[in-house]
Structure 1
Amino acid sequence: MSTFIGIDSNQQNDYLEAIDSALEKGMAAKEVVCSITTGFRRVPSMRVAPGLNTYHASVADIGYGFDAVQGTISRIRKGESIDLVKEMLVFDLDILRISEKQLRPNFELAVKRANPDAFYLIEQSRHLHRQIFEAIKEAIRLGQALLGPEWETIRANIEEIQAIPRL
């Protein structure tokens, strides 16, 4: 049985699998970025850089976002009856988009005064950030294809919820 009206269960599973696969690629890049960001604390010119803590938090947010989307997909695949399942999927994917938008400015602030010995790691991080961005963008594109015009309606409805700060 399909959770999404107008889409048979095989097609639904194909979309969910494709979203999951896109996120797996982003998660791999995020794991490497996480290791590099930990290493940034050992670089004297970056150790107390403005933005480093918020950059670490942005990387963590993306990791939590990947986990949230995959958790929602897992629950759908198991056939769990979930109220507002479409809203959960859109919310999770859109929060991931928002988290990714915070990554770049926080990163650039953190690496602004880095010494040349860290430039290689900085460039590697930028490359990995692009991979993360592409994975998120692809997952959202697939979510939009799965939900069709409903995507934008749902996203508009959850926008107010996204403004509620986390405790």
Structure 2
Amino acid sequence: MTSDDRVGAVFESHAARLFAYARRYGPPELAEDLVSEAFVVAVRRQHDFPDDAGEAYAWLVGTVRKIAANQRRRDASYDRYWREAVRTYWCADTSDSPETIFAERDACLSALAHLSESDRDLLLLVAWDGLTPEQAGAALGISRRTLAVRLHRARQRLTLHLVPVPVAGARHRIGVTP
């Protein structure tokens, strides 16, 4: 039996169990990706792939676990980096008090954190990075019309999460006014 046949046989006998294990880390789409990626690793690292089917399953479980952990670290890093960038480069109106500036910034950070990554990226491209809708559409590979619809919906969702800033005179500068 070739190495590819071995991996294929393990896939046939253990993919459903591995998928059930991978569901612990997220929705079905993520679990499917984790299982697929684990088998890609198995094919690439056939010299490390155990001959025994039971050991091979355990090896795949460990691989899924590592892939999921790496994904969580990437997600956490992304979340930390966008927050850090907005916090660091927040443009403040110099006539506002420091309390107003911090309250406004933190309210926007909190609202942005409730959005999906795609909504947040879209809003930040337009409101933060200053891209025109045409430029943002080109950067994302979508038409201006599609971008306009997504941007409108993202702004609506952002508005739902904006909490009024308790400091008098504070305004939100992320493309939405409460």
**Counting helix residues as a fraction of each chain, which structure ranks higher?**
1
Which structure has the larger Rg?
Answer: 2
After TM superposition, the score normalised by the length of structure 1 is 0.29
| TM-score with structure 2 setting the length | 0.28
Higher relative contact order (CA 8 A, sep 6+): 1
